[in-house]
A and B are shown apart, each in its own frame.
Chain A
Amino acid sequence: MKYVLDQEKIRPDLVRTIERLSGEDVRQCYQCGKCSAGCPIAADMDLPPNQVMRMLQLGLTDEALDSRTIWLCASCETCTTRCPREVDLAAVMDALRHEALRQGRKSPIRQIPFFNRTFLRLIKKYGRVFEMELIGRFNVGTLHFFKDVTKAPRLFFRGRLKLWPSFKGRKTARPAFQAVKNAQRHEPAEPPAADESAGNPTP
């Protein structure tokens, strides 16, 4: 890849937005690679986490926003915990996802935003996750109807999978969703899709 670099491209508004959303200064990163060294998913990423930071440092925002990495990131925060420059990389990844959704970019891995949306819908509905419905909706939505079905009996007998959702505390999450909606109304600059990935998108 060839990149014609100039003063305008360094720290564009978009990078400043990412910095504002994450509360981090991308220039703090000195590219030691400790984040990539410890990342449990780095092997499946197209850009290792340090390179996502590098792209932001050079103003190469498209490379960062269209990467699989930001969607594969499990927010386990190993990188954040170990970063010698105390950069909260998980927060930067989160900010990148926000921004990608806000811009309406298509995730290179379609299932992940779909999973996140489904997950949040269930939280809104039940106040907590209802695994059976989540699996069902996810499998139907991704057209992999029988994905992981063989694992269901064991999970069921171990009490990890319930057939009916819990009705306890159903409405507890709703004020939070309302609060986000209100906040968006007052501050339209905020990414409207914030709620979509506000939850922890653990796969």
Chain B
Amino acid sequence: MTAEQALVNSTETASAQPANGLTDTDAASSARQAPRVGVFICHCGINIAKTVDVERVTAEIAKEPNVVFATNYTYVCSTPGQEMIVETIKSHRLDRLVVASCSPKMHETTFRRAAAKGGLNPFLCEMANIREQCSWVHEDREQATQKAIEIIHTILEKVKGDEALEVSQVSITRRALVIGAGIAGIQTALDIANGGHEVLLLDRYPCIGGNMARLGETFPTLDCASCIFTPKVVEAAQAENITLLTYSEIEEVTGSVGNFEVTIRRKARSVDESKCTGCGLCIEKCPTKVLSEFDRGMTTRKAIYIPFAQAVPNVATIDKESCRYYKTGKCKVCQKFCQADAIVFDQEDEMITEKVGAIIAATGYELLSKDVYGEYGYGQYPDVIDGLQLERMLSAAGPTTGEIRRPSDGEVPKEVVFIQCVGSRDDSKGISYCSKICCMYTAKHARLFKHRVHDGQAYVFYMDIRAGGKRYEEFVKQAITEDDAVYLRGRVSKVYPRGKKLIVRGADTLSGTQIEIAADMVVLACAIVPSPGVEDLARKLRIGYDENKFFAEAHVKLRPVETNTAGVFLAGACQAPKDIPDTVAQAGCAAAKVLSLFAHDHLTSEPVVAWVDEEVCSGCGLCIKACSYDARKMDQRKRVAIVEEVLCQGCGACISACPNSSCELKNFRSDQIVAMVDAVT
């Protein structure tokens, strides 16, 4: 600390005049005066020094005309290394800086801060990557050394052409949009709202709650989902600074972090939300029945419906696809009986535009489609059901009020076979990942079945039991030792009916036997897949998704809730399959990221953006089409294209699209690039 202070003191006094002289004039004078470049070559321990002869590189670079200082050091990124940079900028009156070390992704910020501390504009500091692009990928010391020299030569050319850039400040809209109102979205919304900011909580379904609202009891404590979830739903509905936007979808997203502008389609319910009291009379009188999505086809609902009893908001919605009036023009029974006069048949989708500073995608999951495994007969035999259908049966508010009954004849099943990894870890079905939660919920199902049907027997076909989590392994052990579930290690080949029974033919690789069980009911733990429509949403949010269509996080380990688009965050199973504890943790994390973003007064915008030479621009507009960020617009008066610097991400798409080279990317100008290429050819 004392050394640092001393250094700061000495540099302030000793080089105040030259430093001032430099910073004030470097932008203007860089073209006229000969640049004074300092080069720092890093050993990175032995990461670079093992393959690259850093001494020779230093000697070679020192010979370059504009290089007034060149040195090498074990770790330039270390505190003494940075201090050396600060000191040298002042002692040698450097006006340009090159650090030859790792990728700029690692330490550009570090060295630009050091440059700023030395009184240099940070954008006059460049990094030459001689680690990832040289020492790590080569073995021949001689050739690697030569390549390192050439890499530094190119960066020297670039830094000579660099201009001093200033970061600009942008205001922040302290308001967040959460897409998807399951447990992930609700938790994120609550945490942000409790932090004192306004939240828009959007869901495309008529009510909030998502998949968790469907569940019976939850592992590993077996507490009922409604008991722990309903308070959160109610809290979200009652919170003053949370606005629910149900039955709504994202149409368009423009702008960038801190200032997104989102167009939302509020789908027509054909019911006036403000008038509907949720009395249910219309539902009672409606003549059309269709399968209930919420109960996953286990029951029917009417064409006008409230998905489930505790739905929030408790407002009816007309499903236009099945409503008799919309199909035939006759009926209107609901309108006739509605005492609140809430039915509005000619209601149309409404488009609203909202400004938000951050967006959280929490779109959740769906189960793998039933037709993927024909050999298990899901959809063909009514007594083959999926995990979420069993959840509906187990739910006290479900179609069987918590009793387990065969869908075919309503009898209580005595022998139930659970099949895990239905789709998961099956490359032939295109799903190579583990769905993570099935081992646990199947153990839970097996236990709850035994708790409901005391003389019943549960069989579980599994490949591995993945019970990583607090009290999870113990939970599975209890399923086997206390609730008598028989675990059979192997996949099931086929399920086929024989009389009233379903014959399940599988294997137990532990005993080396082929197993055949005459089951009353079969429950499939279908793979967790992303909700439908995520590709479209990803495109609108300008975020990526992986090969399985789960949203891509910015870094698997270190930035798991951020996306590559600043200001867009992820929560829950839309990023990867996860259970409730993990989802709630990630939701809280996403909220913390949003709150830390909102804690700033202003955002600084990156100044490496596109720039237009108005003299040359012909106003063709190709750059506007090329821009993915809506940063390029046409100045109608001057008939030239302009750059909205706040929105520009500096990707360079417009520059390559421009037919007459009137656009340039600041500090990545064509003349710089050409000089860089010339340096090595």
Contacts and interface: CB of A to CB of B under 8 A. Distances in A.
Given A3-B515, A55-B511, A31 B489 contact: yes
B514 A2 contact: yes
A12 to B, nearest CB: 13
Interface in B476-502: 477, 480-481, 484, 486, 488-489
B511 A7 contact: no
B18 to A, nearest CB: 71
Given A6-B415, A7-B414, A27-B480, A58 B516 contact: no
Contacts of B518: 4, 6
Contact of B481 (A28, A51, A54): A28
Interface string B461-484: 000000000000000010011001
B515 A54 contact: no
Interface in B317-341: none
Given A5-B515, A30-B477, A58-B486, A10 B457 contact: yes
A50 B481 contact: no
B517 A54 contact: no
Nearest to B504: A5
Interface residues of B, number: 21
Contacts of A3: 508, 511, 513-516
A5 B510 contact: no
A4 B481 contact: no
| A interface, over-half SS | mixed
Nearest to B518: A6
Interface residues of A, number: 22
A45 to B, nearest CB: 14
A57 interface: yes
A1 interface: yes
B511 A58 contact: yes
Contacts of A25: 481
Contacts of A30: 477, 480
B231 interface: no
B512 interface: yes
Given A2-B516, A5-B515, A28-B481, A58 B508 contact: yes
Contacts of A4: 515-518
A4 B498 CA distance: 14
B480 A5 contact: no
Interface string A41-72: 00000000011001101101001000000000
Contacts of A54: 508, 510-511
B305 interface: no
A11 B484 CA distance: 9
B550 interface: no
A7 B516 contact: no
B459 interface: yes
Contacts of B515: 2-5
Interface of B: 414-415, 457, 459, 477, 480-481, 484, 486, 488-489, 508, 510-518
Given A31-B489, A54-B508, 18 more contacts: A2-B513, A2-B514, A2-B515, A4-B518, A5-B515, A5-B516, A6-B415, A7-B415, A10-B484, A11-B484, A25-B481, A27-B481, A27-B484, A28-B481, A31-B510, A58-B508, A60-B513, A63-B511
21 contacts: A1-B514, A2-B513, A2-B515, A3-B511, A3-B515, A3-B516, A4-B516, A4-B518, A5-B516, A6-B518, A7-B457, A10-B457, A28-B481, A30-B480, A50-B510, A54-B508, A55-B511, A58-B488, A58-B511, A60-B511, A60-B513
